[in-house]
Chain A
Amino acid sequence: MISRTEARVLWFCATVALFYLLFPVVVVMTVSFSSSKFLDFPPPGYSLQWYRALLDEGWLSSYWITFQVGTLTALFSTLVGVPAAFALARYDFPFRRSFEALLLAAIIVPPIIKAISLYLFFAPIGLANTVLGLVLGHTVTGVPYVVINLLATLKGYDRDLERAAQAHGATPLQAIRTVTLPVLAPSVLVGAVFAFLQSAQELLVALFLLGTVEKPLAVRMWEGVRISLSPTIAAASGTLVVLALAALAVVALALRSRRRAPA
Chain B
Amino acid sequence: MHDGRRKQDATGVRIDGVSKAFGSRAVLRDCSLDIEAGTFVTLLGASGSGKTTLLRIIAGFLSADRGDILFDGRSMRGVPTHRRRLGMMFQSYALFPHMSVFDNVAYALRMRGDTDRLAARVGEALELVRLEGYAQQRPDRLSGGQRQRVAMARAVVANPPLLLLDEPLSALDKELREQLQVEIKTIHRSAGTTFINVTHDQGEALGMSDSVVVMGNGVIQQAASPQELWNRPVSAFVARFLGGSNLLRAERRGAEARLADGTVMKVHGPAPDGPVELAVRPELVTIGEGADDGANAVPATVRETIFLGEAIKIVADVAGHTLEARVPVARAEAARPGARLVLRWRPEDTLALPAEAGGKDGAA
Spell out A's residues near B (CB within 8 Å): 158, 160-161, 163-172, 174, 178-179, 182-183, 257, 260-262
Contacts of B107 in A (CB 8 A): 165, 168, 170, 178
B112 touches A167 (CB 8 A): no
B93 contacts the other chain (CB 8 A): yes
Report chain B residues within 8 Å CB of A260.
Answer: 97-98, 138, 140
The closest CB in chain B to the CB of A184 belongs to: B98
Evaluate contact between A166 and B94: CB separation under 8 angstroms: no
Given contacts A163-B88, A166-B81, A167-B164, contact A261 B61 (CB under 8 A): no
- 9 nearest A-B pairs in the assembled complex, by CB-CB distance: A169-B111, A167-B88, A168-B108, A164-B94, A160-B94, A169-B112, A166-B81, A261-B97, A160-B90
A142 to chain B, nearest CB (A): 26
Task: Please name all residues of chain B whose beta carbon is closer than 8 Å to the beta carbon of A179 when the two chains form the complex.
Answer: 96
Residues of B whose CB lies within 8 Å of any CB of A are 59-61, 80-82, 86-88, 90-98, 107-108, 111-112, 138, 140, 151, 154-155, 158, 164, 166
The smallest C-beta distance from A91 to any residue of chain B, in angstroms, reads 14
A-B contact pairs, 18 of them (CB 8 A): A161-B96, A164-B90, A164-B96, A164-B151, A164-B154, A166-B60, A166-B80, A167-B59, A167-B87, A167-B164, A168-B82, A168-B107, A168-B111, A172-B82, A174-B82, A182-B96, A260-B138, A260-B140
Given contacts A182-B98, A260-B97, A261-B97, contact A163 B90 (CB under 8 A): yes
- Whether the Cβ atoms of A183 and B96 lie closer than 8 Å is yes
CA distance A177 to B54 in the complex (A): 27
**CB neighbours of A163 from chain B (8 A):** 59, 61, 81, 88, 90, 94
Most chain B CB neighbours (cut-off 10 Å) among A163, A165, A172: A163
Q: Taking CB as reference atom, which chain B residue is nearest A170? A: B111
**A168 contacts B90, C-beta separation under 8 Å:** no
Q: How many Å lie between the Cα of A168 and that of B109 in the bound state?
A: 8
When the two chains form their complex, are residues A183 and B97 in contact, meaning their CB atoms are under 8 A apart?
yes
Task: Please state if A172 and B80 are interface contacts (CB–CB under 8 Å).
Answer: yes
A182's nearest neighbour on chain B, judged by CB, is B98
Q: Smallest distance from the beta carbon of A195 to chain B beta carbons, Å?
A: 23
Q: Whole-angstrom distance between the alpha carbons of A182 and B96 in the complex? A: 9
B158 near A169 with CB under 8 A, answer yes
List the A residue with the shortest CB-CB distance to B88.
Answer: A167
A70 to chain B, nearest CB (A): 27
The answer to whether A167 touches B96 (Cβ under 8 A) is no
Q: Write the chain A residue with the least CB distance to B96.
A: A179
Instruction: Decide: B96 and A168 in contact? CB cutoff 8 A.
Output: no
Distance in angstroms from A82 CB to nearest chain B CB is 18
Q: How far is the CB of B61 from chain A (nearest CB, A)?
A: 6
A262 close to B82 (CB less than 8 A): no
CA distance A178 to B104 in the complex (A): 11
Contact present for A168 and B97 (CB under 8 Å): no
The one of A160, A167, A178, A183 that contacts B86, using a Cβ cutoff of 8 Å: A167
**Residues of chain B with a CB closer than 8 A to A164's CB:** 88, 90, 94-96, 151, 154
Q: CB within 8 A of B81: which of A158, A167, A182?
A: A167
New A-B pairs, 18, CB < 8 Å, besides A165-B111, A168-B82, A261-B97: A160-B94, A163-B59, A163-B90, A164-B90, A164-B96, A165-B96, A166-B81, A167-B82, A168-B87, A168-B111, A168-B158, A169-B82, A169-B111, A170-B107, A171-B80, A182-B96, A261-B98, A262-B92
Query: A167 to nearest B CB, angstroms?
Result: 4
Q: How far is B92's CA from A95's CA once the two chains are assembled, in angstroms?
A: 33
Taking the closest CB of chain A, its distance from the CB of B13, in whole angstroms, is 15
Distance (Å) between the CB of A175 and the closest chain B CB?
A: 8
* Among A160, A171, A260, residue most surrounded by chain B Cβ atoms (within 10 Å): A160
Give complex CA distance A260, B98 in Å. 8
Q: How far is the CA of A59 from the CA of B150 in the complex (A)?
A: 55
| Neighbouring B residues of A183 by C-beta, 8 Å | 96-98
Residue on B nearest A163 in the bound complex, by CB: B61
Tell me the nearest residue of chain A to B157, going by C-beta: A168
CB nearest neighbor in B for A175:
B82
